Each structure stands twice: as C-alpha cells, then as structure tokens.
Amino acid sequence: MVKDLIHSWGNRGGRFLVIAVVLVCGMSGCVTDPVTGSKKFSLLSRDQEIALGQQGDSQIVAQYGVYDDPAVASYVEGLGKSLAAKSEDPNYPYTFRVLNTPVVNAFALPGGWVYITRGLMAYLQDEAQLAVVMGHEIGHVNAHHTARQYSTQQLTSLGLGLASIFFEKARPFLGAAQTGLQLLFLANSRDDEREADELGVRYATKLGYQAGEASKFFETLQRIEDQSQGGALPTWQSTHPDPGERVVNVQTLTAKYQQQYPSAQYTGTDPEQYLPHLNNMVFGENPRQGFVQGGVFYQPDLQIQFPVPSGWQVANFATQVQMAPAAGDAAIIMTAGGNTDPTSAANQFIQGNNAQVTSGGPTTIGGFPAYQIQSNLNVDDGNGGTTVLTALSAFINKNGILYVFHGYTTQAQFGTYASTFQSVEGGFAQVTNQSVLSVQPSRLQVFHAPRTDQFQALVQPSAQLNFSVNDLAIMNERQLTDQVAAGTSLKQVQP
C-alpha cells in the first residue's frame, strides 16, 4: 500500500501534467546565500518574490485544497512562525498551510509560503522531525532557491497525478490554475537541497529542538523507497540527496549546530507532544472528495457522478478532475465552481480562446440546464509552432454551481474520441445511491499499547486500504518484532 500511496518529500520531479508557459521578469540582481554569505544571481527582487508566491498560493489552494482542521492548521502555523523567527529573514509574510492530499511531500513558494501535506504529517513521529522538515522549506525561502531556479526557468512537475504528456496542450481548458503550478515546481539542485537540510537543522536547533530526530524520518523515506522495488513510487530526483546520505548529514549537522547553540536539554522527541495532533486525521484518499467505482466517478459532497472511460487514468483535485487514456493522445478535464449561466460561460470560453465553433447550443444534461459546443482551437505545440485541437465542451449548471467539461484531442483524432467525450459529458448526473452519499474516509487512530508485546501483535492492518502490518511498522518507525512497552503511543488506520 505504501508504494501505491506515497510520493516522496524531496522528489520535486515525478509525473504530472506539464504546462508550457513563458516566464517573464523585469529585474536582475543578486541575493545573499545565508549559509556561505556569497552573492548569487536572481532575476527576482524581494517584492517580486512575494508577489509571485502570493499568486501561486491562491492557485495551489484551489487546486489541492487545505486540510479542514483548524487545530492542526494552528499547530503547524505556530511552529512555522517560531522557526521563521530564527531564520535569516524573519520579515517575509510567512504563511504555513497543510494541504489536503495523501502525497508525502512539503514544498515552498518564493516569498514565504510553506506547505506540508497531511500525508507527510502521518509519517512523522515527533515535533522535532516536523520542525526540521518545516525548517528545510523555510530554508528554501531564505536561500531564494525557488526564486533562483525560476530565474533560469528550470521547470519540472510534482508527482501527484497523470503521466499523460498530452496535458501540455491543456492551457485553454485549465484557466487560472495553470500559472500557479508553473510557479511552484522548480528543480532544486542537489546542493540546494543539502543547503536546505542544513538550514532546517540550524533553525530547529536554534529553537531548542533535537534536530537529529529527522534522521529517523529519512530512514522512513528509505524504507518506503526500498519497499517500492521500482514500482509506483517514482525514482528519486537525480539532483536530490538520497535518504541514506541525509541520515548521516543530519547527524553531523546536528552536532555542529548544537555546539553553536548549546542547550541544557533539546526538546521535541516526545511523541506525546506530536501524535495527538494526528488522531482522527484523514488518511489516504478521501472518498468524500471523489472516487472511481464500477467505471463511474462519484463526488459525494457535491452529489455528482459521471462515467470514466475504460482504461483511462484519473487524477482528482480539489476543484478539478483530469482523465486521459494510456496512449496520452486525448484528455477530459472537468472543473467546478462559480455560479455562471451555461450560455454565458460557453461564450466566455469561446471569446477567451478564439475558439472556432462548429456546432452546439443549449441543451439539458442530467436534468440540468446546459450548453454544449464542439470547437477548434489553435494551441502552442511546445516547439514554437501551433497545432489544432478539437474539443467537445459542456457547461452545466447544477444547483447554482457550474460544472465544465472539456474533452479534447487533435483534429485528426477527434472522430476516434467523439463518442467517448459525449458519453462522459452526457452521463453527468445527480448521485442518488445512498451507499455512495454516506461513504467516509479512513482516519488515523492514535492509541496507547494496552500491554507490552511485539509491535505486530498490537496493531490492526487495514484491508480496506490494503495497508499492511509492515506499512504500519514503517509509519511508526518500528520493526515487526520490536518490543513495545505498555502505554506507548502508536498509530494505525481505521476505516
């Protein structure tokens, strides 16, 4: 299960949609490296970094969603602010968010926006580990890593979804979200990642945490990678230090900074201070936000459903669903949001993209007012030229929320996929199945061992999530045969 669920923190590459955009910046200058003190080239001024991060933040939140737990959000924000106060530049408008995704990752935007996923939090064992991870991302901000990579336009993607290269042509169908993605996923060099590790240890140590605890988390990442055996877990980004190296480096750096910032007692190693924040946290994919079953995509919270073509991949985000066949020569994107008349929305799409409409008009889909069109669009082919896409688009108003479908492929291939596009869009409907409407996510349960026993005898695997006892051992930083004392806090997954 771990290898099916997890993409690694630090794996800034991976498989997702790549959106080709032109990045423009008007100023050049230098920034100071906080570790070496040397000057390094950057096109972005401080104000531009902040503006860039602010723009990307709103789009990342719209794309992935923020985990809805005020207590967890307050906890992470408080720790983040304390760490930022120990950084070289505590005056950035730091914002810390927990993203509502099971992917194990953390990242930062220029200007002080830092993100950690609920998926990553589930694999940490104590507050000291969290402090180093968050400090690492604050380090990227202070060292201007993302801003400098932006300056050289080294775009890459985050491994959160589809592998279809056809999504390179998705710009007309994605709206504002496209720019938020391209602002984020810049390939940090291996030296940048090492520097961020050092800064994370430095900030955590200055705040009084036992930063060496982070080495255990890197060991957890190594176990996840080992278990994947080249399967669904993407290979580590070539520029990123491997977990084994990071284990050694963190211990060395901890010794270095504990000499510089001595303390009678370094804290954050007691799981009882951290694990209660995880109790009842959603684990894995949240079916309330959408799932596929029996060839149908269901979204219980919105009470909508539509068919999924056989053999097509599906990527589900907070306000968008993307689907593509294995061949990668077509795609369907569904977005939700707003309260727009279908006819007005269709006209806005046509005018905004200079779409050449070949057929269409008002209709009814699933019993709801709709407007459907077929159109041709000229789009960038990624090689300095253009290509013509043909799209079947449906704009549906269900109870005041606009749902927009775009099924598209090349003009030559449209005949192959037209019936598939129509089947999906025409199959949009209200969910009435009560078992679908009542589905609930799996959650983490933090409990105290009722007796002294081997780890494997104290936890229950989740057949529903295909989450084995070995998966639980990795999550708890344990081996199956470890003796666990009565009263020790442990994590397991409850359906």
Rank 46-60, 186-200, 215-229, 305-319 by mean pLDDT and report only the highest.
Answer: 305-319
Answer yes or no: is pLDDT of 229 > 80. no
Q: Would you state the structure tokens that stand for residue 73, as one six-digit string?
A: 């959000």
pLDDT band for position 185 (50/70/90)? very low
Q: What does the pLDDT read at residue 172?
A: 53
Same domain, 269 and 292: no
Q: What does the pLDDT read at residue 48?
A: 86
What residues form DSSP beta bridges with 30?
A: 41
Q: Would you state the structure tokens that stand for residue 445, as one six-digit string?
A: 């349960």
CA atoms within 13 A on the CB side of 362: 7
pLDDT band for position 41 (50/70/90)? low
32/75: higher pLDDT: 75
For residue 4, which of 332, 239, 231, 202 has the smallest C-alpha distance?
231
For 390-426, the pLDDT digits (tens) are 999 999 999 999 999 999 999 999 999 999 999 999 9
Cβ(199)–Cβ(138) below 8 Å: yes
Q: What does the pLDDT read at residue 384?
A: 73
CA distances from 462 to 220, 435, 444, 495 (A): 20, 20, 11, 7
Q: What does the pLDDT read at residue 5?
A: 38
Same domain, 130 and 261: yes
Q: What does the pLDDT read at residue 277?
A: 98
Q: Point out the least confidently predicted range of 63-77, 256-270, 435-449, 462-476.
A: 462-476
Q: What does the pLDDT read at residue 236?
A: 33
Same domain, 205 and 253: yes
Q: What does the pLDDT read at residue 300?
A: 97
Same domain, 62 and 29: yes
Cβ(217)–Cβ(239) below 8 Å: no
Same domain, 487 and 418: no
Same domain, 337 and 411: yes
Amino acid occupying residue 328: G
Alpha-carbon span 84 to 81, nearest angstrom? 5
Cβ(180)–Cβ(55) below 8 Å: yes
Same domain, 426 and 446: no
Same domain, 405 and 481: no
Same domain, 321 and 465: no
Q: What does the pLDDT read at residue 173?
A: 55
Answer yes or no: is pLDDT of 72 > 80. yes
For 100-140, the pLDDT digits (tens) are 999 888 999 999 999 999 999 999 999 999 999 999 999 99
Buried b (16+ CB within 10 A) or exposed e, 49-81: bbebbbbbbebbbbbbbbbebeebeebbbebbe
Residue 244 gets the label, from left (phi > 0), alpha (psi -120 to 50) or beta, of alpha
Q: What does the pLDDT read at residue 146?
A: 76
Cβ(427)–Cβ(347) below 8 Å: no
11 by Cβ neighbours in 10 Å (0-12 / 13-18 / 19+) ranks as buried
CATH number at residue 431: 3.40.1000.10
Same domain, 466 and 407: no
Alpha-carbon span 1 to 299, nearest angstrom? 23
Domain that residue 452 falls in: 441-494
The number of distinct structural domains making up the chain is: 3
Same domain, 242 and 345: no
pLDDT band for position 380 (50/70/90)? confident
Average pLDDT on 215-227 reads 87
Of 402, 422, 437, the domain-final residue: 437
For residue 360, which of 378, 348, 377, 346 has the smallest C-alpha distance?
346
Answer yes or no: is pLDDT of 230 > 60. no
Report the 10 Å Cβ neighbour count for 326.
10
Of 212, 245, 278, the domain-final residue: 278
Helices 127-142 and 70-84: crossing angle in degrees, nearest 10, is: 60
Q: What does the pLDDT read at residue 22?
A: 29
For 323-378, the pLDDT digits (tens) are 999 998 999 999 998 768 999 999 999 999 899 999 999 999 999 999 999 999 98
Alpha-carbon span 39 to 44, nearest angstrom? 14
**pTM beyond 0.85, yes or no:** no
The CA radius of gyration of the chain, in Å to the nearest whole number, is 24
Residue 321 gets the label, from left (phi > 0), alpha (psi -120 to 50) or beta, of beta
Angle at 471 between CA 468 and CA 475, to 5 degrees: 140
Alpha-carbon span 191 to 184, nearest angstrom? 19
For residue 25, which of 112, 141, 145, 150 has the smallest C-alpha distance?
150
Q: Point out the least confidently predicted range of 13-17, 93-97, 108-112.
A: 13-17
Query: DSSP characters for 120-151?
Result: HHTT--SHHHHHHHHHHHHHHHHTTHHHHHHH
Answer yes or no: is pLDDT of 35 > 70. no
Say what percent of the chain tops pLDDT 70: 80
Alpha-carbon span 298 to 415, nearest angstrom? 27
pLDDT band for position 152 (50/70/90)? low
Alpha-helical segments (H) within 155-189: 171-174, 177-184
Q: What does the pLDDT read at residue 382?
A: 65
Same domain, 8 and 57: yes
Of 420, 437, 454, the domain-final residue: 437
Alpha-carbon span 122 to 478, nearest angstrom? 14
For 279-314, the pLDDT digits (tens) are 999 999 999 999 999 999 999 999 999 999 999 999
Q: What does the pLDDT read at residue 338?
A: 72
Alpha-carbon span 112 to 133, nearest angstrom? 15
Alpha-carbon span 388 to 411, nearest angstrom? 6
